[in-house]
């Protein structure tokens, strides 16, 4: 593949580095020194110049590119770069943005700004944080369909309320599908009357909210509920999105923000969050508001130093789990060595997401489960493929392949699959497939 990466910051460099071994990579950056330096770090062609201009893009041979990844630190630059790339060729364009507004616009209309795939750094980071907070009992969690769908695997522990129930009894959540059950390493595709026993591993696919509710059911002790105290420190975009996603999952977090105007804005936009306007490094304030008794503290302030301070402070006050956003990838290990439970770096998260996306063929997103016994696939259905225009029950009856359709997204809306649901071109289908049947399924798509 010929890949053009625009922007040689941490994200761009990381993507270029992981792609360089198998692909032909061209990196464009405005800073000539950076471009020069990169040439010696990884085996790529570097071009110095403005990546939004067709002149520089032509020099990078964008017209011939299979993929153009715009990942500078500036949203508009990335969007314009993708737009320009579309005028020169037909490569798949990926844009990194911070603003969720651009993401919403893009989601609302297919191919807005000439972008084929958009990665929203702050939202992605927030989704990561919320996943870590919300599903500590999960063995495995993977997002699909740009975060609209989650696959999660849970082990049924002793004392779990679903132990001893049948699948239909345990499956009481809307938009959640019970797709697989592993018992002693053996895979069962569950039916309604399949019983769930202690020690089983259950795989579910559904909306993040329903997966959360399921987790609360499976492991009520490990999974935080509404009663648990979650404190988000810092009302940055990441802090805001984290609180918003927590609200969506029925948590009522507290958020501490120093700036009065920002605090007011946050309070207006987060109806179920208690927003506090204060300096989060003030220990007296923290103990007055009983932050020391919080179950989880997320530190999402503007700088690594502040985050380190708050995280260490929270740990010392006795908070159970502390999650910190770390801007510089180099500090991630430092944070974790000090004893901060989880350090999340937005750039790494973004680079990983883009790289993961580029590894797989363009419309497939894969998770492999239990020593490759089963896979979860995301397929984008095209006009004329064997699955389009038929109800699910008919597809299942016609094939020997062992699979379950876990979720469907249509125009960025979740559709819960039922037997009579007819698949359409453009749908994203998330399937749980037994490994032996994967080729049978992909040949139909």
Judged by the rule CB under 8 A, the positions of this chain that interact with other proteins are 256-257, 260, 263-264, 266-268, 271, 274-278, 285, 289
239, exposed or middle or buried, with CB in 10 Å at 0-12, 13-18, 19+?
buried
Distance separating alpha carbons of residues 196 and 140, to the nearest angstrom: 19
Segments of 249-362 assigned E as strands: 254-257, 274-277, 296-299, 321-325, 342-344
Kindly state the smallest distance separating residue 271's Cβ from other proteins, in Å.
7
Which CB sits closer to other proteins, 153 or 237? 237
Nearer to other proteins by Cβ, of 261 and 400: the residue is: 261
Closest approach of Cβ 30 to other proteins, in Å? 40
Q: What span, in angstroms and rounded, lies between the C-alpha atoms of 221 and 116?
A: 41
Mark out the alpha helices in 117-236 (DSSP H runs). 121-134, 167-170, 208-218
Measured from the CB atom, the residue of 152 and 266 that comes closer to other proteins is 266
| Residues recorded for the chain | 445
- Which residues does residue 365 pair with via DSSP β-bridges, in sequence order? 378
Between 70 and 263, CB nearer to other proteins: 263
Q: Report in angstroms how near the CB of residue 275 gets to other proteins at its nearest.
A: 4
Q: How far is the CB of 312 from other proteins (least distance, A)?
A: 22
Residues 6+ away with beta carbon under 8 Å from 180: 187, 188, 189, 190, 202, 203, 369, 374, 404, 432
Closest CB to other proteins among residues 23, 278: 278
Report CA torsion sign: 317, 323, 329, 333.
positive
400-431 burial code (b ≥16 CB/10 A, e <16): ebbbbbbbbbbeeebbbbeeebebeeebbbbb
Which backbone phi and psi does 220 adopt, to 5 degrees? -60, -25
φ, ψ at 182 (rounded to 5°) = -105, 125
In the complex, the smallest distance separating the C-beta of residue 264 from other proteins, rounded to whole angstroms, is 6
Of 285 and 385, nearer to other proteins (C-beta) is 285
- Judged by CB, which is closer to other proteins: 191, or 288? 288
Distance (Å, whole) CA 207 – CA 228: 22
Nearest distance from residue 32's CB to other proteins, in Å?
46
The least distance separating other proteins from the CB of residue 284, rounded to whole angstroms, comes to 11
Cβ-based nearer residue to other proteins, 265 or 364: 265
The residue behind tokens 């037994």 is 434
When the beta carbons of 278 and 424 are compared against other proteins, the nearer one is 278
At its nearest, how many Å lie between other proteins and the CB of residue 416? 23
Residue 87: φ, ψ to 5°: -80, -20
Nearer to other proteins, 266 or 354 (CB): 266
CB of 289 to other proteins, least distance (A): 7
- The distance of closest approach from Cβ of residue 123 to other proteins in the complex, given in angstroms and rounded to an integer, is 22
Token output for 79:
């969007």
- Strands 24-29 and 45-48: what pairing? parallel
Could you tell me which of 139, 128, 151 has the C-alpha nearest to residue 345? Answer: 128
CA 83: distance to chain centroid? 25
Are residues 210 and 202 in contact, defined by beta-carbon separation less than 8 angstroms? no
Which burial class, exposed, middle or buried, applies to 234 when counting CB atoms under 10 A from its CB (0-12, 13-18, 19+)? buried
């Amino acid at each position: 593949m010929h890949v053009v990466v625009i922007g040689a910051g941490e994200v761009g460099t990381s993507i270029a580095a992981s792609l360089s071994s198998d692909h032909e990579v061209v990196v464009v950056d405005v800073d000539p020194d950076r471009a020069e330096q990169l040439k010696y770090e990884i085996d790529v062609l570097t071009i110095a110049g403005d990546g939004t201009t067709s002149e520089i893009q032509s020099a990078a041979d964008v017209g011939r590119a299979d993929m153009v990844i715009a990942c500078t630190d500036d949203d508009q630059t990335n969007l314009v770069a993708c737009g320009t790339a579309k005028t020169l060729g037909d490569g798949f364009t990926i844009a990194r943005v911070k603003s969720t507004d651009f993401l919403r616009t893009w989601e609302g209309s297919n191919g807005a700004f000439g972008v084929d795939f958009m990665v929203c750094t702050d939202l992605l980071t927030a989704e990561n944080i919320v996943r870590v907070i919300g599903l500590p009992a999960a063995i495995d969690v993977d997002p699909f369909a740009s975060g609209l769908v989650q696959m999660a695997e849970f082990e049924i522990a002793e004392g779990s309320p679903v132990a001893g129930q049948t699948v239909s009894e345990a499956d009481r959540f809307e938009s959640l599908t019970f797709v697989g059950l592993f018992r002693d390493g053996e895979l069962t595709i569950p039916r309604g009357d399949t019983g769930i026993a202690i020690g089983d591993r259950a795989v579910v696919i559904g909306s993040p909210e329903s997966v959360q509710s399921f987790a609360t059911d499976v492991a009520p002790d490990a999974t935080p509920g509404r009663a648990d105290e979650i404190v988000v420190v810092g009302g940055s975009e990441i802090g805001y999105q984290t609180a918003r996603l927590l609200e969506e999952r029925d948590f009522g977090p507290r958020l501490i923000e120093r700036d009065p105007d920002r605090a007011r804005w946050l309070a207006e936009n987060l109806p179920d969050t208690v927003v506090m306007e204060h300096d989060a490094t003030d220990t007296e304030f923290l103990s007055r508001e009983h932050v020391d008794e919080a179950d989880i503290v997320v530190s999402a302030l503007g700088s690594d130093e502040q985050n380190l301070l708050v995280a260490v402070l929270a740990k010392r006050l006795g908070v159970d789990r502390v999650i910190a956003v770390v801007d510089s990838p180099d500090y991630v290990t430092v944070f974790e060595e000090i004893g901060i439970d989880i350090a999340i770096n937005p750039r790494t998260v973004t680079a990983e997401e883009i790289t993961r996306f580029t590894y797989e063929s363009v419309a497939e997103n894969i998770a492999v489960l239990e020593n490759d016994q089963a896979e979860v696939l995301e397929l984008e259905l095209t006009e004329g493929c064997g699955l389009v225009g038929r109800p699910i029950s008919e597809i299942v009856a016609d094939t020997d392949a062992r699979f379950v359709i876990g979720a469907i997204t249509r125009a960025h809306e979740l559709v819960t699959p039922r037997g009579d649901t007819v698949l359409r071109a453009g749908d994203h289908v998330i399937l749980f497939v037994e490994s032996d049947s994967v080729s049978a399924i992909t040949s139909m798509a």
